[in-house]
Structures are given as C-alpha cells and as structure tokens.
Amino acid sequence: MQKIKTYGSRDIPEDLRPLSCELDSLRDLLLQLARERTDGPKDGLIAVTRMLSGVTVEQWNDVAKLYGLQEWLALSLDESACLNLNNLLNALEDLAHQSEHDPLTGLENRRAFNRKMQMEAERVERSNSTVSLVIIDIDNFKNVNDTYGHPCGDEVLCGLADVLIEAKRVYDVAARLGGEEFALLLPGASALKTKSMVERVLQQFSEQKFGCENHEPFSCTFSAGVACMNGRGSTSITQLMELADKALYEAKTSGKNCVHVARQKPDFEYDRSTMVHSNEKQFLFSGTD
C-alpha cells in the first residue's frame, strides 16, 4: 500500500486545506483496512473516484506530491474526452514505468529483471545462444552510509547506475536488485567478454569522486560475480543466479574491488569410447621394426 505522509497545514494552500483533511481521514481508513486484512487474501483491485469541484488538475498534482499520492489519477471533466484519454494513457504508462523501475536510480527493479531474465533464458534455449549474468555489490557501502550519511550513499548508488547505463548495450539489461546490489544481463556475451566489460565499468566507477557536505571527496569500488548460460540446457536460471552469487562471494573474500567468473562444468561430455587410452598410446608411439 502506498505510504501516505502527513504534512503541516502551512504546506497546504488555503483553498486545499479541506481536501487535506479529507485525505487524512482517508489515510486512517486505508490503514485500518490494511491492518484488518493482514492475514487475509492479497488479491483485489479497485479504482476510487472522488468528484472535486473548483480544483484543477495542477492543484491536485501539487497535493498528490505532498501526500505521496502519485499513483492516484486525476482527470479534468471540463476537458474533451480525447484529452482525458491521452491523460489516462500517459498516467498508465507512468504507473507501468514506476512498477518496474527503481525510483532512485531509474534502473529496472528486481521484479522487472527477473521477468527479463526468464524471457532471455527462453530465447537462449530456442536459439542455442548464450547469456551472461553479472551480480554487483558495492564494497563497504554500510561504511559510506555511516560515515557520510544516506543522501551521500544515494549519490554513490546513482553514480554506479550512471556508469552501468553508459557502458551497457541497447539490448543489455541493468537493474538495481535492492540496497547496494545491482545486476547486468548481457545477451550473446561470453563469460570472458563479460568479465572484461565489467572490469572497465569497475575502473570507471572507482575513478568517480563523491563530494558530501563537510567531508573530503572519496571514491568507491565494487565486487562482481559472472556466470554464463547457453542453449544446451545444462544450467537453469536458479543455478545461474547461484553461480553468479558464488562468484561474487569469492570476489568479496579475495579482497574485493575485482570481478570473478564462476567455475562451471563443461556444457558437454566427451565420448570417452573414442578416446585413445594409455596402453594404446604406448603401442602407437613405441615404434616397431
């Protein structure tokens, strides 16, 4: 449920204060409903309509920003049906974008990334191609927040996001999975090619300087794990994530500020029946008169 914030009356224009009181009452009702259905079913979707006379869409947008109600849709009944339809379509596009993107960095969120990864795995299976997964974790990020504050930590997160956006190809997927953890999905890229690309990203990120109030500029690094999937069906999505996570753990434990590639089994088995055995080698190369 959307968290509704309460603001002092000085933040609300005089002509909109009655509306703010109504929103406060609605907030209390919604919170009560949320508490009552804590253990109940989670499905259900409704649209709530409220007629507001004497209020423009612009005024409503101001109130929506104050109360964190950007998911609420306002349509002007004084405008044409065509204009309202366009407003509705734009609002739906905005909501779709918000539901699949991290609000801080603008990267795709975990839900969108998981969906893209599932789609890519199916494509890889059909086309017998490859895809590489990268899991990235900013080194010592807790110390950044503790030392410089969370606003400065947000700058670091956005700094890494900017580097990822600049470095990735159009069809690559960059996401923030949560906290200081990011991910890349690189269709058609081998593990070694991916490692080289991520090392360049690491170099660019480590060269950034972050300046926060009352502190000297500082830089950050990250650790990354790489794993690869091909169309032979030897690796599932779950296994791919586990391999990338394991490689990330190895990068962290080996000193951080590096990229590790997961050690994976060969994607095919040798037909040992066609191999030359040691006794046959001895016969072939022993030399006979």
Q: Which amino acids are annotated catalytic?
A: 180
Nearest to 50 by CA among 14, 74, 82, 31: 74
Q: Two tokens at 232?
A: 């032979």
Q: How far is CA 146 from CA 62, 141, 142, in A?
A: 34, 9, 6
Secondary structure letter of residue 101 according to DSSP: B
DSSP string, 251-273: HHHTTSSSEEE-----SS---GG
Question: Is 50 buried (19+), middle (13-18) or exposed (0-12) by CB count in 10 A?
Answer: exposed
**Residue 49 backbone phi and psi in degrees, to 5:** -115, 135
Contact 74, 61 (CB under 8 A): yes
